[in-house]
Amino acid sequence: MDRLLFLFTLRPIVYGLIGMAVSGIGFPLAGVIIVRNGLIPMRYMLMHGVILGGVFSIALGLPLFPVVAALNLALVALMIAMNRDGRTSLSTASTAMMVFTMGLASMIGHVFDVPAKDTLEILWGSPFALLTSDLVILCILSVLLVVYVLVFFRPVSMLFFDHDIASSSGVNVRFHNSLMLIITALTVSVAMKLLGALLIDALVVLPVLGASRNAKSLKAMFIGSSITGFVLSVTGYFISLIFNLPVSGVLAVLAAAVYAGNILISKIRINRSLK
């Protein structure tokens, strides 16, 4: 206990807790957007965008986050352009972009002699490495996510239900789709700093998958995902501090366990109601 109390006198530990708590509430909202809009392939593309951005920033000695965020926004803009006439699906566009980003990352890494070890470090983030500026960006993004969902709940729920119905009812589908893609790009870029490119799903997608199994409404799905994300990220953070384990790994295992538990509980419920 004394060790834990001592740890919380250190700024990186406090920043880490704030970062995990705030993103635990906000980021699963982006996860709902990803899951409901079928943007999982795009999320993979953004992860590869993170790797390309990382290689690019190491090669040119530029700050990591702005480069990664700008690159991911550019990739999303390209995807929107490819999807504009409706002939190329977002899934196809993101697959093409994913291959492109990895190819480019490989070439830049080779030309600028970027050490593979440095590149791989991008794949493992750390909440202890958050700077004040990172924390501010993270809080702003989380607040923006909450505000977006609260203000545009009705059109967003209509879009999730059916694009054609939303469009015929007067929802500006192109505006909301573009905004949701941009929000997703920024969330993945920011989440990378916390958990690393490989384990973003633990904070963004897994809480949603867990909460949505038993959700009876979209409102319940949003609220349940945020609560699950918050509880998982804070609990995971404390477990990692107490047992001296990597936060991203603990959170990923915890989130996967909660998801598996959710499946088990709902199966038991179904079996009981059938008897």
Amino acid letter, residue 234: V
Contact 73, 178 (CB under 8 A): no
Per-residue contact string for residues 194-213; x = within reach of other proteins by CB under 8 A? ------------------x-
**Letter string b/e over residues 178-199, b meaning 16 or more CB atoms within 10 A of that residue's CB:** bebbebbbbbbbbbbbbbbbbb
Region of 5-13, 69-77, 215-223, 239-247 interacting with other proteins (CB under 8 A): 215-223
Kindly provide the residue ranges of all beta strands, DSSP E only, lying in 14-106, ordered along the sequence: none
Helix (H, G, I), strand (E, B) or coil at 157: helix
Per-residue contact string for residues 81-110; x = within reach of other proteins by CB under 8 A? ----x-x-----------------------
Contact 149, 31 (CB under 8 A): no
Task: State the nearest-atom distance from the C-beta of 165 to other proteins, in Å.
Answer: 6
Task: State the nearest-atom distance from the C-beta of 167 to other proteins, in Å.
Answer: 6
Closest CB to other proteins among 8 and 153? 153
DSSP code for 92: H
Contact 177, 227 (CB under 8 A): no
Region of 94-102, 156-164, 227-235, 260-268 interacting with other proteins (CB under 8 A): 156-164
**Contact partners, residue 203, CB within 8 Å, separation at least 6:** 23, 24, 27, 28, 191, 194, 195, 229, 232, 233, 251, 255
Nearest to 176 by CA among 185, 163, 191, 188: 163
Region of 41-49, 96-104, 157-165, 261-269 interacting with other proteins (CB under 8 A): 157-165
Query: Is residue 225 part of the contact set for other proteins (CB under 8 A)?
Result: no
Query: Is residue 158 part of the contact set for other proteins (CB under 8 A)?
Result: yes
Distance, CA of 133 to CA of 139 (rounded, Å): 10
Among 218, 247, 252, 255, the residue binding other proteins under the rule CB under 8 A is 218
Phi, psi angles (nearest 5°) of residue 107:
-65, -45
Among 131, 161, 175, 263, the residue binding other proteins under the rule CB under 8 A is 161
Query: Is residue 176 part of the contact set for other proteins (CB under 8 A)?
Result: no
Among 24, 36, 193, 198, the residue binding other proteins under the rule CB under 8 A is 36
Residues between 55 and 74 with contacts to other proteins, criterion CB under 8 A: none
Query: Is residue 2 part of the contact set for other proteins (CB under 8 A)?
Result: no
Task: State the nearest-atom distance from the C-beta of 164 to other proteins, in Å.
Answer: 6
Q: How many chain residues touch other proteins (CB under 8 A)?
A: 24
Residue in the structure block whose two tokens are 């809009």: 37
Contact 37, 160 (CB under 8 A): yes
Query: Is residue 215 part of the contact set for other proteins (CB under 8 A)?
Result: yes
Among 8, 62, 162, 175, the residue binding other proteins under the rule CB under 8 A is 162
Contact 225, 211 (CB under 8 A): yes
Query: Is residue 266 part of the contact set for other proteins (CB under 8 A)?
Result: no
Binding site for other proteins (CB under 8 A): 36, 85, 87, 154-155, 157-158, 160-162, 164-165, 167-171, 212, 215-218, 220-221
